[in-house]
Structure 1
Amino acid sequence: MKLVMQVRLLPTPEQAAALEATMYSCNEAATWVSQVAFERGQFKNFALRRHVYGVVKSRWGLGAQAAQQVIKKTCDAYASLKANLRAGNLGRPGSRRHRQATERPIAFRPQGAQPYDDRMLSWQMPDRTVSVWTTYGRIKNVAFTGSAEQLTTLELYRKGESDLVLRDGMWFLFATCEVPEAPLDTDPEDFLGVDLGVVNIATTSDGEIMAGRALNRMRTRERGLRRKLQKKNTPSTKRRLRKRRRKEARRARDINHKIAKHVVAEAERTGRGIALEDLTGIREWVRLRKPQRATHSSWSFAQLGSFIAYKGRRAGVLVVYVDPAYTSRTCAECGHIDKANRVSQAWFACRSCGFVDHADRNSSRNIRARAWELWRCGAQSPAPAPTPRKGNGAGRKRSPTASGARCASPVP
């Protein structure tokens, strides 16, 4: 499996100036290549290269391999745009967002990331340095640092391109690594159901609750601070906003990594698989009141799910996705389904048998039972596609039948 390792570069001022000039030249050249590709309708690497390769080398002083990377970077950007349009991520055809994306060529930021292959970038792992091509020639002995785990993974499994990134005045290299996967456990003893939520980030069928109180409080505070700074709109507030940007995202990402690591370790220790809800499209098929929209939009369930999936693959733990329909309204003891069973955000009380439990714990038990039943039956069909729903969907799950499941790893 492919993983991306991030290490920080520690260049001298002269080295940093050469790297920055190279990044500006490459992105300026990529913007020009994008204009040519847009005018000619040529978005394939080989066809576009005939029109721009010589000009890119002569006008911006790029080497042969750097010019190739600039052209490839432009073609990859248009391929991503095409995929997003096909998936509907940029709105419907004719909408304002769709027109903005299709009616003009792609432009690259002056400090946009620049890909490097092994001909342009070489690693000296024992010395913790890299040698990098720049428009001022090749600069050597650029120091880098990272955690012990990152450096070990780099030394053992690095393969392919690396991206040079300038972020908030700091230089980074994002290196691609081909990490071997552990043998998949295709005969799990049981499943560990995981319910993902906003108030409680994750709740397992073992009864463990990973509360999101601190994260939600921090998000509320950051949202209010951004509002105040944007309203004031002075040079000092703009500097403050730039300094604080991505702080919330970094904090949420760190928490999601820790939760995913803990969940996978528990499943691996007990010989179980992991069962998650397939929440694809949830932002489209629920409607929320205005005070709930910001909280719901900042819910990073997809990121946590992806972390659990890739960490599970590394550990050989099976990850199964089940249909989330009515998991929050179904009694884990008797199977009775009723909207009134969910008496509040925190509590579940069955109207049929009187069973009372924490609402998220009850949902996670339903997820576990659904995954185990489907796995025993050998179900391989994907979960049904989400459909738009009308009305207030704050506490509503998807309505189709709960007969579908999909796996993050092949079914035996």
Structure 2
Amino acid sequence: MKLVVQIRLLPTPVQAAALEATLRACNEAATWVGEVAFAHGEFKNFALRKLTYEQVKSRWGLGAQAAQHTIKKTCDAYATLRANLTAGRLGRPGSVRHRRATQKPVVFRPLGAQPYDDRMLSWQLAERTVSVWTTGGRMKNVAFTAVPEQLATLARYRRGESDLICRDGRWFLNATCEVPEAPLNTDPVDFLGIDLGVVNIATTSDGKIMAGRGLNRIRARERTLRAKLQRKNTPSARRRLKKRRRKEARRAKDINHKIAKHVVAEAERTGRGIALEDLTGIRERVRLRKPQRATLHSWSFHQLGSFIAYKARRAGVPVVHVDPAYTSRTCAECGRIDQANRVSQARFACRNCGFVDHADRNGSRNIRARAWELWRRGAPSTAPAPPPRQRDGAGRKRSITASDARCASPGL
């Protein structure tokens, strides 16, 4: 399976200036390639290369490999745009948002990520340095650092290309690693049901409740502080806003990693599989009052599910996604479905048999039962593979994220 290891670069001021100039040149060239592709209606890699390759090399001083990656990055950005349009993420055809996304070419951020293959980037792991291609020539002895586990993974499993990233003045290399998977446990003794929620992030069928009240309080405090600083709009307020950006997302990501690690370790230790709810499209289905919308849309259940899935694939633990319909209203003891069973957010009391339990634990038991029934009927593990990756000019696989390219629509 493919994993991405993030390495922190420690360039000198001169090296950082060369890296910044390189990113700006590559992304300026990619924006121009996007305009050519839009004007000619040509979004295939090799056809677009015929139109732009020579000019990208001569006009921006890019090497052969850098020019090919720049053109391919543009093609991948248009492929992402088409996928978002097909999935309806940019509104219905004819809507303002849809027109903005389709009537202008994609535009790349000046410091957007740039892919590097082994011809443009070489690693000296013993010295903890890299040699990087730049528009000013090959730059050697760029120091990097990482935790020991990441360095070990990088040394053993690195395959393919890496992405050069500049984030808030700091430099990173996201290296692709091909990590072996453990054999899938095809004969689990049972399943560990996981009920996902906003108040309680995850509740297991064993009764373990991983509450999210602390995280929700932090999010509410951050939203209040952001609104206050945005209203103030002074230079110092803008500096504070810039300093705090991504802080909440990093905290939520760390909590999700810890929860996923605990869930997978427990399932692996007991020889069980993992049962998750299929919550696809829940944000479109649920209608909430305005004060509740921020809470729902900051709920990172998809991220937690993806963390559990990839950790489970690495450990050989099967994962089954089930339909979550009525799991919160169904009694885990007698199977009676009644809306009145859900007395409150935290309390479940069956009107038929009198069974009383924590509402989220009751729901997780229903999820476990559904997954076990599906598995007995022969359902395969539905642990999703990593997102589909586009191929670069050298035939290797890479993924383009929405942060690499954007168009006039705010949704891309």
Distance in 1 between residues matched to 2:171 and 2:379, nearest whole Å: 47
The aligned amino acid for 2:217 is R
Partner of 1:56: 56
Which residue of structure 1 aligns with residue 343 of structure 2? Answer: 343
Displaced runs of 4 or more, over 4 A: none
Cross-structure match for 1:108 = 108
CA distance in 2, matches of 1:186, 1:84: 35
The correspondence of residues 8-407 of structure 1 with structure 2, limited to 5 A, is 8-379=8-379, 407=382
| Secondary structure in structure 2 of the residue aligned to 1:351 | coil
Q: Distance in 2 between matches of 1:168 and 1:408?
A: 34
How far does the alpha carbon of each residue in 1:114-156 deviate from its partner, in whole angstroms, 9 at most, with x for none?
1111100011111111000001110001111111111111111
Contact 1:195 1:203 survives alignment (8 Å): yes
Question: Per-residue displacement from partner, 1:64-106 (whole Å, max 9, x unpaired)?
Answer: 1111111011111011111111111111111111111110000
Unaligned runs of 5+ in 2: 386-412
Structure 1 counterpart SS, 2:107: coil
Cα distance in structure 1, aligned partners of 2:42 and 2:222: 44
Tell me which of 383, 393, 410 is aligned to 1:408.
383
Q: Which residue is 1:399 aligned to?
A: none
Two-structure CA RMSD over aligned residues (Å): 1.1
Query: CA–CA distance in 1 between the matches of 2:299 and 2:77?
Result: 27
Unaligned runs of 5+ in 1: 381-405
Higher-RCO chain (CA-CA 8 Å, sequence separation at least 6): 2
How does the TM-score come out when normalised to structure 1? 0.92
Letter in 2 for 1:92: R
Q: In the alignment, is the contact (CA less than 8 A) between 1:7 and 1:146 conserved in 2?
A: yes
Greater mean deviation of Cα atoms: 283-292 or 310-319: 283-292
Compared with structure 1, are the counterparts of its residues 98 and 409 closer, same or farther at alpha carbon in structure 2 (3 Å cutoff)?
A: closer
After TM superposition, give the deviation of residue 210 of structure 1 in Å: 0.3
CA distance in 1, matches of 2:360, 2:105: 47
Whole-Å separation in 2 of the counterparts to 1:181 and 1:86: 33
Whole-angstrom distance in 1 between the partners of 2:258 and 2:14: 38
Q: What is the distance in 2 between the residues matched to 1:93 and 1:359?
A: 41
CA distance in 2, matches of 1:342, 1:146: 48
Tell me the percent identity.
80
How far residue 409 of structure 1 moved from its aligned partner, in angstroms, is 6.9
1:289 CA displacement: 1.5
* Residue aligning to 2:401: none
- Superposed CA deviations along residues 189-233 of structure 1, whole A, max 9, x for unmatched, are 000000000000000000000011111111000000011011111
Count how many residue pairs are aligned between Structure 1 and Structure 2: 385
**Residue 235 (structure 1) shift:** 1.6
Q: Taking structure 1 as reference, are residues 83 and 189 closer, same or farther at Cα in structure 2, changes over 3 Å only?
A: same
Q: CA deviation at 1:379?
A: 4.0
The corresponding residue for 2:388 is none
